[in-house]
Amino acid sequence: MPEPIEVRKVPINHVTDASGLAKLIDEGIIEADRVIAIIGKTEGNGGVNDYTRIIADRAFREVLVEKGTRSLDEVKQIPIVWSGGTDGVLSPHATIFATLPPEKAIPTDEPRLTVGFAMSEPILPEEIGRRGMIEKVAAGVREAMKRAGIDDPADVHYVQTKTPLLTIHTIRDAKSRGKTVWTENTHESMDLSNGTTALGIAVALGEIEMPDDADVMHRRDLYSSVASCSSGVELDRAQIVVVGNTRGIGGRYRIGHSVMRDALDTDGIWAAIRDAGLELPERPHPSDLKGRLVNVFLKCEASSDGQVRGRRNAMLDDSDVHWHRQIKACVGGVTASVTGDPAVFVSVSATHQGPDGGGPVAAIVDLGPEPVTGYTPASI
């Protein structure tokens, strides 16, 4: 049986800041040795050379080593997934997941938050965009589900991954071994890695059958409704965090999910919050959340037809500002307008993650007694 989960969101006040994590440990809210995953947003450019992810990763791991008993090598095994780029009103932050001793958890037989993690086998550069990567990711997802105590894929509401993308170095490595790569465009490989990973998640959860290599990045009707995939230069395998619900472990948190059908679909965000178990009026307002929303996690994508609700936009034709940054800022603003909190996890490059032009949404809510642990804006 997995242990109950404590989950908190903390701000990142500058690129090397991990004081929010340190404060949670110092105040006894979580134990350093019980932190099992961290998912956050950093303020870099979100591109191949976004080193704010590496800087933040080091800062948070240093706190876990300093304040716990685990060695640096042990702490390096903890999945810490950073999505770079806080365009628009998005605010840098981290969501921290830690286990609780069962005796400290609120007892309940209702479904409550559970987390499992796994690392895939190393992913070779020639496998990115191809079946080899899909199979390795799917195997990792199944392992993470076991660790979360989840048997039914319907109880999985969010799968966050971080996978390698292609760099000049890894492309050269593949060629030196007589292999080919899907693309030699390193920035394009970010979308490619994310999309291939999402297909692996969808296969593991039974959302789709195993696709062919030719389907990758082309069959937009093949997607996962719970995948949130990021990629970067800082690892050579898939870090996989499976978040869902299970009965019997207790705790105060629950997760739900839905999808945004397009970039303006606020109803998709509210649907995920409702799916997590929070009762809301028919037409809710951020004030109805009452501090019970811990965080939402979204993926977004510019629609391949260059339109939103029948109106043309120029994102995909813009040579000055890449569409990654434009759609992230747009959906970040839409999401913050729902939650009343700009510190929301909005990540771009959502191929095979939700429908074309939209993306998956997961929401974690606090269903425990007062005082609640989510964010309450100073004013709404």
**Which one of the listed residues 230, 231, 303, 349 is annotated catalytic?**
230
CA-angle at 363, arms to 120 and 295, nearest 5° = 95
Q: How far apart are CA 27 and CA 53, in angstroms?
A: 26
Q: Provide the CB-side half-sphere exposure for 298 (13 A, CA).
A: 40
Handedness of CA 210, 216, 222, 227 (dihedral sign): positive
Q: How far apart are CA 151 and CA 135, in angstroms?
A: 19
Q: Which DSSP helix (H) or strand (E) runs through 300?
A: strand 293-300
Amino acid 301 reads E
Q: Which backbone phi and psi does 21 adopt, to 5 degrees?
A: -65, -45
DSSP label of 336: H
Answer left, alpha or beta for residue 294, where phi above 0 means left and psi between -120 and 50 means alpha. alpha
Among 368, 376, 144, 158, smallest CA distance to 253 is for: 368
Q: How far apart are CA 196 and CA 189, in angstroms?
A: 10
Q: How far apart are CA 241 and CA 267, in angstroms?
A: 26
Cβ(187)–Cβ(207) under 8 Å?
Answer: no
Q: How far apart are CA 134 and CA 210, in angstroms?
A: 8
DSSP label of 107: P
DSSP label of 62: H
Among 48, 375, 15, 13, smallest CA distance to 233 is for: 48
**Which one of the listed residues 9, 41, 162, 328 is annotated catalytic?**
162
Q: Is 224 a catalytic residue?
A: no
Identify the three-state secondary structure at position 202.
helix
Pairing of strands 307-308, 311-312: antiparallel
Q: Is 104 a catalytic residue?
A: no
Cβ(178)–Cβ(145) under 8 Å?
Answer: no
Amino acid 21 reads L
H helix and E strand count, the chain: 8, 14
Name the residues annotated as catalytic: 162, 230
